[in-house]
């Protein structure tokens, strides 16, 4: 089973599951109420799906809650730092600084 994408998606998914269970509805029913596929709801609850704003709003509407309930307190520290290669511009700046002795 895939690991959660980040702490943010894990926390969000847990909140979706808690609210769905509080209502006593299945993932399939939440999917119908939200206008998404039931497999999508499962991925959200497991934290393996990174949602767009529109889908956050759809799921919140399906749960009959304000979207803020699902995202409250999830800060930038819950998102992993992006691992990326330096851009060409960054490499050139670094080389110029090194050549100038800075």
Domain membership of residue 68 (yes or no) is yes
User: Does residue 89 belong to any structural domain of this protein?
Assistant: yes
| Cβ 56 vs Cβ 71: under 8 Å | yes
CATH code: domain of residue 29? 1.10.260.40
Does residue 1 form part of some domain? no
pLDDT one-digit tens code per residue, 38-84: 999 999 999 999 999 999 999 999 999 999 999 999 988 888 766 45
Write out the residue range of the structural domain in which residue 41 sits: 7-99
Specify the higher pLDDT residue, 61 or 98. 61
What is the mean predicted confidence (pLDDT) over 31-44?
A: 97
Helix axes 7-23, 53-63, angle to 10 degrees: 20
Gap between the Cα atoms of 10 and 23, Å rounded: 20
The reported pTM is 0.77
Q: Is residue 87, in this structure, part of any structural domain at all?
A: yes
């Amino acid at each position: 089973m895939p690991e959660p994408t980040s702490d943010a998606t894990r926390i969000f998914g847990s909140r979706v599951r808690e609210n769905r269970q509080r209502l006593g509805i299945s993932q399939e029913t939440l999917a119908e109420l939200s206008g998404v596929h039931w497999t999508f709801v499962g991925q959200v609850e497991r934290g393996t799906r990174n949602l767009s704003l529109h889908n956050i709003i759809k799921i919140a509407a399906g749960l009959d809650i304000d979207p803020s309930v699902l995202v409250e307190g999830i800060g930038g520290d819950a998102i992993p730092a992006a691992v990326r290669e330096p851009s060409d511009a960054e490499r050139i700046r670094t080389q110029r600084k090194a050549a100038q002795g800075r």
